[in-house]
């Protein structure tokens, strides 16, 4: 599941809107919480825009706390613009999917 670091409201939608939907339609699928647009956390225009609404960009510890709250395997951040963290997100997601798949293939003979 993803949210935008420059949109605190998108993080607030994770536990009430997206988590139940994902857990209902994608049972037993590992969840990774990803903060997108990491580059905007320190962008002055973004910070000023959010400040006018009495908000600020989502902090890493807020993302981690949300990941813990929803039972996600991990909290990662990335920026498509700078490419920072993008590879790590895909690598982690791939490893998580493969590990889940291996567990499902287990066969017990009686």
Report pLDDT digits (tens) over 58-83.
999 999 999 999 999 999 999 999 99
The residues pairing with 77 across neighbouring beta strands, listed in sequence order, are 35
Pick the CATH number of 2-104 from 1.10.10.10, 3.40.50.300, 3.10.129.10, 2.40.50.140: 3.40.50.300
pLDDT at 106: 52
**How buried is 83 (Cβ within 10 angstroms: 0-12 exposed, 13-18 middle, 19+ buried)?**
exposed
Stretch 51-55: mean pLDDT: 97
CB within 8 A of 13, min separation 6: which ones? 3
Report the distance separating Cα 100 and Cα 88, nearest Å. 18
Report the distance separating Cα 74 and Cα 39, nearest Å. 20
This model's pTM is above 0.85: yes
pLDDT at 25 exceeding the cut of 80: yes
């Amino acid at each position: 599941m993803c949210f935008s670091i420059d949109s605190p409201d998108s993080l607030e939608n994770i536990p009430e809107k997206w988590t139940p939907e994902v857990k209902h339609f994608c049972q037993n699928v590992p969840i990774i919480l990803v903060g997108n647009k990491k580059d905007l956390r320190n962008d002055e225009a973004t910070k000023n825009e959010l400040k006018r609404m009495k908000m600020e960009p989502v902090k890493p510890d807020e993302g981690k706390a949300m990941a813990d709250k929803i039972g996600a395997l991990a909290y990662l951040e990335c920026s498509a613009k700078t490419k920072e963290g993008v590879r790590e997100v895909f690598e982690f997601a791939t490893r998580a999917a493969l590990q889940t798949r291996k567990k499902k293939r287990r066969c017990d003979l009686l």
